[in-house]
């Protein structure tokens, strides 16, 4: 898990929808080029960070993969993607860190409640469990045959349990956090496409 957290923390994969940090850094950026005696110079105005500009209690990594059992069947199970046809299964994967608790990894024992809200669909609970060599949270959604085509602005909600005082560390109250893909570049957002 620590290898995955390091990778996500460095921004190699953000929003889990096959989006690289480079694409995020350039989204909404504008550049101006001027020429001086020393040669051309470029100044770039960057957009605000994808995670916002405030302080955060929780760090959440979220992505989507193709689940088994949907129709049409995916070409490869567990393949990371953000494009789904009606009838296919979207599996949301999530893991995170409670920053306020000193970097405590979120797991089934210290998360009180977690769910994903897809527009027009009842909240889907996350479940924590083993997946290969790692454990993380997953939630599955089968895209209804009549679900509207286009971007699906889902929101992930996480509420932690309070962390009791331990040694020199003070108690940490329950924290809550959300993840949303709204505002990311459209090609990087979960999208229902025509079959």
Number of other residues whose CB lies within 10 A of the CB of residue 47: 13
pLDDT for 32 equals 52
pLDDT for 35 equals 58
Cα 121 vs. chain centroid, distance in angstroms?
Answer: 19
Q: How far is CA 66 from CA 93, 117, 152, 160, 180, in A?
A: 11, 18, 15, 27, 19
Residues in the chain with pLDDT values less than 70: 1-39
Q: List the one residue out of 119, 116, 123 whose CA is nearest residue 91.
A: 116
The order of strands in the sheet holding 176-180 is: 124-125, 111-117, 155-160, 176-180
pLDDT for 5 equals 37
pLDDT tens profile 126-170:
999 999 899 999 999 999 999 999 999 999 999 999 999 888 888
pLDDT for 27 equals 34
Are 130 and 36 spatial neighbours (Cβ–Cβ below 8 Å)? no
In angstroms, what is the C-alpha Rg of the chain?
19
pLDDT for 41 equals 73
Correct CATH for 2-19+50-192 of 1.10.10, 3.40.50, 1.10.3470, 2.60.40: 2.60.40
**Residue 181 per-residue DSSP state:** -
**Residue 92 per-residue DSSP state:** E
pLDDT for 157 equals 98
pLDDT for 36 equals 61
Tell me the β-bridge partners of 39.
36
Are 135 and 110 spatial neighbours (Cβ–Cβ below 8 Å)? no
Are 93 and 16 spatial neighbours (Cβ–Cβ below 8 Å)? yes
pLDDT for 46 equals 84
């Amino acid at each position: 898990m620590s290898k995955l957290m390091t990778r996500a923390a460095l921004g190699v994969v953000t929003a889990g929808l096959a989006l690289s940090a480079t694409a995020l850094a350039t989204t909404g950026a504008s550049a101006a080029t001027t020429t001086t005696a020393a040669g051309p110079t470029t100044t770039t105005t960057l957009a605000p960070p994808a995670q916002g500009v405030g302080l955060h209690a929780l760090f959440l990594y979220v992505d989507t993969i193709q689940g088994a059992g949907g129709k049409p069947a995916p070409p490869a199970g567990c393949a990371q993607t953000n494009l789904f046809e009606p009838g296919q299964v979207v599996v949301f994967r999530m893991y995170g860190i409670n920053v306020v608790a000193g970097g405590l990894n979120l797991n089934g024992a210290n998360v009180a409640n977690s769910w994903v809200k897809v527009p027009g669909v009842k909240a889907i609970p996350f479940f924590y469990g083993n997946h290969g060599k790692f454990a993380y949270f997953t939630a599955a959604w089968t895209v209804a045959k009549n679900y509207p085509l286009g971007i699906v602005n889902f929101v992930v909600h996480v509420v932690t349990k309070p962390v009791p005082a331990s040694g020199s560390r003070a108690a940490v109250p329950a924290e809550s956090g959300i993840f949303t893909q709204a505002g990311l570049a459209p090609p990087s957002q979960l999208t229902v496409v025509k079959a």
